[in-house]
Amino acid sequence: WAGKQRWFAEPPHMQVSILFVPSDAQEPRVGDELVAHLRHTTTQYDRLVDR
């Protein structure tokens, strides 16, 4: 996000995933898309955009 790698605050969950976003970075808005590199064995997508 914002051109930098961001880290999960904890492992991704089915219901919600929490990211660390530093106070000096612009925070994402609801509906914003971000690139995520995750293990496919632990990931279930609401929507997948292949670019």
Note the pLDDT of residue 15. 59
5-46 residue pLDDT tens: 766 666 655 556 667 778 888 888 888 877 776 666 666 677
Q: Which long-range contacts (CB under 8 A, 24 or more apart) does 5-14 make?
A: 6/34, 11/42, 12/38, 12/42, 12/43, 14/44
Note the pLDDT of residue 35. 72
Note the pLDDT of residue 43. 63
CB 17 within 8 A of CB 38: no
Note the pLDDT of residue 33. 78
